Amino acid sequence: MLYGAPPARRRDAQRNRAAIVLAASQVLTERDPVALMPEIARRAGVGQATLYRHFPDRHALTAAVIEHQLDRLEQLAAGPGAHPEHFRDLLRAVLHTQIAMPGLMALIRRLDRAARHRYRRRALAALAGPLRRAREHGHVRADLVPEDLALLFTMVQGVAGAGADAAAARAAADRCVDLMLDGICRSTPG
């Protein structure tokens, strides 16, 4: 065996794990996560035994999907979203991801309070730097703080989760995002 190169089996396991997390992210864009595990295995192109080897239960898989989404947020916040003039777009993307994944939001609501708090803290930490720079450059309200973003998440979730008509709830949540962003962001610095 050559040193420095992981064994093929390990690469296969990594690919399977990544495929499962991506498939779970897709499934969680749907409203009802009840038949979660079998559908994820099918979409990932793996057997249920492989899925359960990586994620013994729905909670472990939910945690992996949340971690994946938070990793994406941190990458966005460190990239172009870190520039003050792009904060509105970054926040819009975060809020629309929340709207687009009602199944994940339903599972997050079932997590214990400490886990929800830990994930929220990580999301706010990722947004804190871009928010500070946007505030300093006059792209957002001068009094906007990271805790206000948590309030926005809660408001959007409340609107997105209201009502039995998923399309109407999503449209209302999209409108809510536009109204909130218009209230906290400035079109020109000043």
Give per-residue pLDDT as tens, 56-105: 988 899 899 999 999 999 999 998 657 888 999 999 999 999 888 888 88
Give me Rg for the CA atoms of the chain: 19
% of the chain exceeding 90 in pLDDT: 58
Q: What is the pLDDT of residue 162?
A: 78
**Residue 24 falls inside a structural domain:** yes
Q: Let me know if residue 80 belongs to a domain.
A: yes
d(CA 166, CA 157): 13
Residue 148 has pLDDT above 70, yes or no: yes
User: pLDDT per residue over 7-51, tens digit each?
Assistant: 555 888 899 999 999 999 988 887 565 567 888 999 999 999 999
Q: What is the CATH number of the domain that holds 64?
A: 1.10.357.10
Q: Which residues contact 50 (CB under 8 A, 6 or more apart)?
A: 16, 20, 41
Q: Is residue 63, in this structure, part of any structural domain at all?
A: yes
Residue 2: inside a domain: no
Task: Determine the pLDDT at residue 169.
Answer: 83
Domain count for the chain, please give it.
1
Nearest to 110 by CA among 68, 41, 61, 72: 61
139: domain range? 8-184
Q: Is 3 domain-assigned?
A: no
